[in-house]
Structure 1
Amino acid sequence: MPDKQDVIFFENLRREDVALVGGKNSSLGEMVQQLGSVGIKVPIGFATTSGAFRRFIDENNLEAVIKSTLADFDSGKIDLHTAGQSIRAAIVGGDWPDEIEAAIKDAYRELSERAGQQNLSVAVRSSATAEDLPDASFAGQQETFLNVVGEDDLLTACRKCYASLFTDRAITYRNVKGFDHMQVALSVGVQQMVRSDIGGSGVMFSIDTESGFDKVVLINAAWGLGENVVQGAVTPDEFQVYKPFLDRKGVCPIIEKRLGAKEIKMIYSGQGDDKPVRNVPTSRSERSQYVLTDDEVLDLARQAATIEKHYGLAMDMEWAKDGKTGELFIVQARPETVKSRLSTGLLKSYKVGDHGPVVATGLSVGEQISTGRVCLIEDVADIDRFVDGSVLVTSTTDPDWVPVMKRASAIVTDHGGRTSHAAIVSRELGVPAIVGCGDATHVLHDQQEVTVCCAEGDEGFVYDGIAEFSVEELDLDHVPQTQTKVMLNLANPATSSRWWQLPSDGIGLARMEFVISNTIRVHPLALIHFDQIQDESVREEIETLTRGYSSKPDFFVDRLATGLSRLAAVAHPNPMILRMSDFKTNEYADLLGGRQFEPLEENPMIGWRGASRYYDPAYSDGFRLECRAVRKLREELGFDNVRLMIPFCRTPEEADRVLEVMKDEGLERGKNGLQIYVMCEVPSNVILAEEFAKRFDGFSIGSNDLTQLTLGIDRDSDKLAPIFDERHAAVVWMIQTVIKTAHECGRKVGLCGQAPSNYPEFARVLVDAGIDTVSVTPDSFLKVKAQVAAAEKQRDGKTIT
């Protein structure tokens, strides 16, 4: 066994050994010791100690060099680049003390023997004693060297790791965080290479990196070695997995799959090449397929959940897939240092108002909005010309960019995913960023005024010009308790997770048509009868959208189920009431291929919509696809908290026909706990409430349509807008009547219309009427909750007297 003062194998390390081997290596030792027996695979390896580093510094008389050089920098005699370069050169030029050199060589030989190979290919990683701390990530501060082979190359790589403790970005970061340069030591981790050069690799977090939603695992994946994902040099595949269902048998809780461009991959260089690794372009086949199978995604997610549970906090991990064996390895694990540390008592909500045209799009990082003038910098050598407060636009970033990133109002990059360097650092700095735009450096120009908007979901938008926007702070520390359940109206899966902290009682209205129009974009009948599509441009667009699916209807079912699952995940274990599609014919016609299947109607608002479509032979095949998506959502993805709601159901006989179609598709009321509600938005729903109660588990009042049809007012009419009022006595009578009748029949009633969101005081009318649930927009939730609490207090006070 090598001298433990200089070298320690991972299995002899614990997480408490940060001072001895740094955060990265102590964490690897913790996983090898404690988690290997529960399926966490970590490549074998060893670490040099902080004592070995300090002896190297002492015996080469480097402390004086470092101190004097940093003093010259602090006094302004030399610039940062000169200071860092001088220190690094002195360290790389140092000689190994004999006993440390022997210890490293002996350990390397033993590692090679364990692996059954001579001169084992290893990854050589830096591990500082002040990294991966709860309040300082030091992400990417020090160097990593891959595919290092042979004792001499290993010793050189170890010296370069030591030197990287004084890169420009590391010096700057320690100055910002207040760390004494001479108190930080560096350990080197030497780890068997996973053959991910012919496999894949990436990064994963045990929480959602944007919203902090703690019930999902976020996984990024790209072909080849993992440095490209970390550095943001590629746009990776992205997966989200719902953690609470990982142990459920027979379910596959992958709630998001996004295919990345994966433009390049890092592989081993050939013999005789000066560098051991190089980047090459990926093939068309590699770009068009996912790096991981569903089973591998779930395997990684389970490992992430296991690691998180063991450490007791949210984790940031790197993984690698061996292309020879297919095995999945965890190669790093550290605490997540941004979202998990934010206060949960205050929630900021950003809204964009009037804005200019979209000039670039990518993945949003953070949920903020920022404006400014573009400062386009393509090479880190030119960062001195960055203007404070500008929007930094560049191809990609690495730690050398940190000095200007913290001075930017926003960051926009061509490449990268949510786990890239640009994304991680922007989160830590609290600066909004849009990564993976693809063409930002081509379509944006210096001095251009832009708005960077990350407040509209997964997709971030760069708008031309300075847009209007607002910021609202929601205090979650003083939310009153209510007997009446207050739920949310949500439609957009991409923005749903930002509201996970609201103490709602579930989702009272999830609009299926939003997912269809924004995620699927194709008329369901155009997918079923694709061979009948006559417009060639429409055919080409549908072919592009459905690429990778052998069956076009399967595209509809899969994408709809996955999109809805992100909503259901935020609500779970509380219910989500999902309204089946409620497009009008003109809106259906606007979907790709829709005009060929939709009639022209003079008044679509009261035409062929809702239930009347579902059993009609002209559309029932499309409705069956919706049913199959819901069945997949409940049974395959596991979200049995989803309840269904039938809109615009005019008669009990119509209800019977719809329920029969649903039963035929495996959605039978009462089976597997399935509840089916009816929208109460047509006067006949009130007049015949007893009959509807025999067929449905509950009513959900759509106050907009009910007002429209009770007062005989087109809700879209500008002329009649002044008298369109959900608070009108006739409408209130309708609401009171259906609640009374439903309760007499043992059925619950909610209201999911806009009235309480627009008029929070309207909640008093509903509470007095005995409503069971009120569903409102997220931004009005706290106001309505307060109104409901006050109304209940007043009601109960009256009852007592």
Structure 2
Amino acid sequence: MSKPAPLILGFESVDRTSVAQVGGKNASLGEMVRNLGGRGVRVPPGFATTAEAYWRFLDASSPCPVIAAAISDWTMGKTSLPDTGARLRAALLAAPWPEESAEAIRAAYRDLCARIGRPDADVAVRSSATAEDLPDASFAGQQESFLNIRGEAALLEACRRCYASLFTDRAISYRQTKGFDHLRVALSIGVQQMVRSDLAGAGVMFSIDTETGFDKVVLINGAWGLGENVVQGAVDPDEHQVFKPLLDQPGTVPILEKRLGGKAQKMIYAQDGEHPTRNIPTTPAERSAFVLADTEVLALSRWAVAIEAHYGCPMDMEWAKDGESGEIFIVQARPETVQSRLGSGALRSFRINSKGALLVTGLAIGDAVVAGQVCRIDSPRDIDRFVDGAILVTTATDPDWVPIMKRAAAIVTDHGGRTSHAAIVSRELGLPAIVGTETATRDLQAGQEVTVSCAEGDEGFVYEGRAQFETRELDASAAPETTTQIMLNLANPAAAFRWWRLPADGVGLARMEFVVSNHVKIHPMALVRFEAVEDPEARAAIEALTAGYVDRTEYFVERLSRGLSRIAAAFHPKPVIIRMSDFKTNEYSNLIGGAGFEPKEENPMLGFRGASRYYSPRYREGFALECRAIRRLREDLGLRNVIVMIPFCRTVDEARRVLEVLAENGLVRGEEGLQVYVMCEIPSNVILARQFAELFDGFSIGSNDLTQLTLGVDRDSGELAELFNEQDPAVEWMIDQVIVSAHDAGVKVGLCGEAPSNHPEFAPFLVQRGIASISVNPDSFVAVKAAVAAAEETAHRTPRRIP
């Protein structure tokens, strides 16, 4: 006689092969309890009701015919989805507990209380469908969870409500869409010791970048209080991004991004038995502080790496910190179901050619651009008001919104982070979304024509009107092998992870000034000499941006180093060449507080720019901050693949002076593997190339400025546009000469100008001359790579001619 199937199983008795018995969520908890405790991963103790317990619950009240009839009426159009769901939930909520099942749950709860050492211990009661968390179906949020449940009676009622939640409108709709038989999906219930995160914080963690699929980072979101607010998108959480390859390198803190969230409210315990949790406003101190310390962020990231390695796939996890013990726990782990299933070859590139006024900004989800009409909806009950293909604008979403979200072209919400419901479902549906805008429902009007852009990096933008944009498909798998290195020109850190799948040989030009203008925004001298800033608006803006920094210069160093770190990490361990700031004086003046520190020049293009600034009393202290940021990037974050490059270096003597200033600021060429390159963009760099080669490790040819100064043509002049030609014989002669000189001196030489990106046919000339690397814009990469491969094939048959 076979042994009857169990009604209850402790987490230590199940593993990931137990999905049919206890569902994906509970099976995963058991898997971690049994296999990852030795790696330090903490999981709160608990138990699971089995699928057998669910079927016995149904058998006791015989609702199966009711379920089948109700679903049939709905699919035939006889009843609405809300009426169908209400009918089924009422049937389960009225069903009595089979005494054997009820006693099994009570006994398991008493055992758990004894293990914890706390009578009537507070527990979390979570649903775990036996078909959930499959590779093609996440069932995210489809069933209910109940927190702060105490006592046997309350536990049984919460379990009954979990069973009923198998038939919420959203769960019925989701199963129907995915093709699951409603009577073949059972529900297991996980009962787990509550982590007192109401006294600390909680959140969500992914072992992969959720927007790009970049597999070398851990993404952590967190907020004060219980984690439901983060999952539901009811708050704007803190965000951390951590670089996995350097987590175990001694002395490094590889946190690439720290973004402070608004965290306007937190969920805590309540005394009301009917509603055991409630939201309260956070204090100003809580809103201005990160939920996690850096050490905790790194510890969680190491757990994410261990969990991912054990499961063999990218993971989606929930964490909670106990405010009483200070310990952190993993309370859920499941396979990530969106980025990990995308193909690795095709990349889309969007380019906006003209756009209207910027209306709102937030976190970008996805990478597309969509234009359409705004449809503002305040509740999923208003589904009949939604216009198919419109842009859904609302405060936040939960699973009840899914039927509307499926009909939208894009989604914009006031609240939420990258791990909120709106973000997760938008990714599953393939829709661009902008979350956490704070003001979308106020600033966007129903019927208004707008453009939603998620193609400009981490930040999403809503523009007025229908922007003109173009879409290009890039197939990275079609890029041929080349001997010549093909690198990328990058400036925007927020977009760096988008291009990680390109088989690039590194970054040939990362423009520091873009990071300064977009991420730092403040003139560095206005931070060094804040007392000299006279403009009251500039002073107020600086005080607001640097709030919380005891030393205002630390704001510059931290923002710059973290911004650059995303570019350096995206292609680690391949070389990433960071050009030190190359603003012109008129551009520096536009930075906050900059006007009082910059001279007025008639021709800034040929004025106080590049290397001449670095040793000048006007800017030397500002350059020291740039050097501090590079040191932090290489030493603290551990990104030693970073190479420093000096722009617009006019003379050999100036080169020596700049190297001395670098050394004074702890950047000594040759120490700790540091390489220093120089831009070749002035005729003197070509004429004296051998002398420059004695001081630098390589040249990077800036063909834009070199063309301008060789031909005497202002590259920005509309009147002279026809004369500006990087393929002019005079310019080609200059390029050829510096390549020959570099080869003779045994230093590296590449080109990072716009010519190959704009004119792929320029590549054969460079290959024939023996260039070591060519840096191009990402959307030109595949075309240039193909042109170089063809040129290399020809070059094998044609000897190189050196004039």
Q: TM-score range by the shorter chain?
A: over 0.9
Determine the structure 2 residue equivalent to 1:265: 266
Tell me by how many angstroms 1:353 deviates. Answer: 2.1
Name the residue aligned to 2:624. Answer: 624
- Percentage identity across aligned positions? 63
Is the CA contact (8 Å cut-off) linking 2:198 and 2:226 kept in structure 1?
Answer: yes
Q: For 2:786 and 2:551, how far apart are their aligned partners in 1?
A: 49
The match for 2:203 is 202
Rounded to whole Å, the distance in 2 between the matches of 1:276 and 1:205 is: 28
Amino acid at match of 2:255: I
1:710 is paired with a residue whose SS is helix
The equivalences for 1:357-756 within 5 A come to: 357-756=357-756
1:65-96 CA distances to partner (integer Å, 9 max, x unpaired)? Answer: 11111111122221111111111111111111
Match of 1:190 in 2: 191
Question: Which residue number in structure 1 is paired with residue 329 of structure 2?
Answer: 329
Shift of 1:477: 2.0
- Measure, in 1, the Cα distance between the counterparts of 2:264 and 2:500: 34
Give 2:220's aligned residue.
219
Does the C-alpha gap of structure 1 residues 800 and 704 become closer, same or farther in structure 2, counting only changes over 3 Å? Answer: closer
Distance 1:513 1:800, change over 3 A: closer
Measured in 2, the distance between the counterparts of 1:77 and 1:681 equals 75
Tell me the distance in 2 between the aligned counterparts of 1:360 and 1:613: 37
Aligned AA (2:655): A
1:44 equivalent in structure 2: 45
- CA deviation profile, 1:397-434 (whole Å, cap 9, x unmatched): 11011011011001111110110000000000001111
Matches within 5 A, 1:289-328: 289-328=289-328
SS in 2 for 1:633: helix
- Give the corresponding residue for 2:17: 16
* SS of aligned partner of 2:740: helix
1:216 CA displacement: 0.5
Mapped contact 2:5–2:52 kept (Cα < 8 A)? no
- Judge conservation of contact 2:360–2:443 (CA < 8 Å) in 1: yes
Contact 2:199 2:322 in 1 (8 A): yes
Q: In terms of mean alpha carbon deviation, does 296-305 or 791-800 score higher?
A: 791-800
Secondary structure of 2:477's match? coil
Question: Is contact 1:680-1:700 (8 Å) kept?
Answer: yes
Structure 2 length normalisation: TM-score?
Answer: 0.99
Hey, what's the Cα distance between the residues in 1 that align with 2:410 and 2:538?
37
* Cα contact 2:380–2:404 (8 A) shared by 1: no
CA distance in 2, matches of 1:758, 1:781: 11
TM-score under structure 1 length normalisation: 0.99
Contact 1:3-1:103 within 8 A present in 2 as well: no
> 2-side partners of 1:384 and 1:716: how far apart?
53
SS in 2 for 1:87: helix
SS in 2 for 1:719: coil
Structure 1 residues 273 and 24: alpha-carbon distance in aligned structure 2, compared to 1, 3 A threshold: closer
The whole-number CA distance in structure 2 between the counterparts of 1:528 and 1:552 is 8
1:245 Cα offset (Å): 0.5
- 1:143 maps to 144
Matched, 1:109 2:110: yes
- Size of the aligned set, in residue pairs, is 799
Is the CA contact 1:349–1:472 (under 8 Å) kept in the aligned structure 2?
A: yes
Match of 2:235 in 1: 234
Partner of residue 154, structure 2: 153
Paired position in structure 1 for 2:77: 76
Q: Distance in 2 between matches of 1:76 and 1:798?
A: 73
Please name the residue that 2:286 is paired with.
286
Give the Cα–Cα distance (whole angstroms) in 2 for the partners of residues 352 and 618 of structure 1: 38
Alignment pair present for 1:128 and 2:120: no
SS in structure 2 of the partner of residue 397 of structure 1: coil
How far apart are the structure 2 equivalents of 1:400 and 1:702? 54
Partner of 2:98: 97
Give, in whole Å, the separation in 2 of the partners of 1:72 and 1:351: 48
- Is the 8 Å Cα contact of residues 270 and 277 (structure 2) preserved in structure 1? yes
Q: Which deviates the most, 505-514 or 584-593?
A: 584-593
CA displacement 1:511-547 (0-9 Å, x = unmatched): 0000000000111000000111111111110011111
Q: Which amino acid aligns with 1:287?
A: R
Q: Distance in 1 between matches of 2:750 and 2:644?
A: 13
| AA matched with 1:378 | D
Letter matched to residue 92 of structure 1 = L
Shift of 1:273: 5.5
> Following the alignment from structure 2 to structure 1, what is the Cα–Cα distance between the partners of residues 396 and 437?
10
Q: 1:12: how far off?
A: 0.7
Deviates more, 1:351-360 or 1:260-269: 351-360
Shift of 1:695: 0.3
User: How far is the alpha carbon of 1:798 from its aligned partner?
Assistant: 2.3
The amino acid of 1:396's aligned partner reads: A
Q: Secondary structure at the match of 1:84?
A: helix
The equivalent residue for 2:775 is 775
Give yes or no for contact 2:317–2:333 (8 Å, CA) kept in 1.
Answer: yes
Deviations 1:425-461 (A, max 9, x none): 0000001111111111111121111111101111111
Q: Distance in 1 between matches of 2:798 and 2:682?
A: 33
Aligned CA-pair RMSD: 1.2
Answer whether contact 1:363 1:436 (CA < 8 A) is retained: yes
Amino acid at match of 1:328: I
Match of 1:248 in 2: 249
SS at 1:208 equivalent: coil
Letter in 1 for 2:189: V
Aligned partner letter, 1:322: D
What amino acid sits opposite 2:269 in the alignment? Y
On the 8 A contact 1:222/1:237 being kept in 2, the answer is yes
Corresponding residue number in structure 1 for 2:274 = 274
Indicate conservation of the 8 Å contact 2:768/2:800, yes or no. Answer: no
Q: What is the alpha-carbon distance in structure 2 between the residues aligned to residue 800 and residue 15 of structure 1?
A: 61
The CA deviation at 1:3 is 8.8
Structure 1 residue runs of 4+, over 4 Å off? none
Is residue 50–residue 186 contact of structure 1 (8 Å, CA) maintained in 2? yes
Aligned to 2:519, the other structure's residue is in SS state helix
CA contact (8 A) 1:680 1:702 kept: yes
* 1:43 and 1:331 in contact (8 A); partners too: yes
Cα distance in 2 for partners of 1:777, 1:77 equals 57
Distance 1:283 1:425 in 2: 31
Q: What secondary structure is seen at the aligned counterpart in 2 of 1:5?
A: coil
How far off is 1:382 after superposition? 1.1
CA distance in 2, matches of 1:776, 1:131: 44
What do the CA deviations read for 1:231-268 (whole angstroms, capped 9, x no partner)?
11011011100010111110001001111111110000
What amino acid does structure 2 have at the position aligned with 1:94?
A: A
CA distance in 1, matches of 2:273, 2:527: 51
Between 485-494 and 78-87, report the one with greater CA deviation: 78-87
| 1:800 Cα deviation from its structure 2 partner | 12
CA shift at 1:799, angstroms?
4.4
Moved more, 713-722 or 272-281: 272-281
Match of 1:792 in 2: 792
How far 1:579 sits from its partner (Å)? 0.3
Query: How far 1:274 sits from its partner (Å)?
Result: 3.2
SS at match of 1:164: helix
Structure-2 separation of matches of 1:244 and 1:266: 35
Q: Distance in 2 between matches of 1:664 and 1:359?
A: 45
Deviations 1:73-126 (Å, cap 9, x if unpaired)? 122221111111111111111111111111100100000000010001000000
Query: Is 1:177 aligned to 2:192, yes or no?
Result: no
- For 2:258, the aligned partner's letter is K
Cα distance in 2 for partners of 1:380, 1:653 equals 69
Give the Cα–Cα distance (whole angstroms) in 2 for the partners of residues 11 and 656 of structure 1: 66
How many angstroms apart in 2 are the aligned matches of 1:647 and 1:89? 72
SS, match of residue 353 in structure 1: strand
1:4 Cα deviation after fit: 6.6
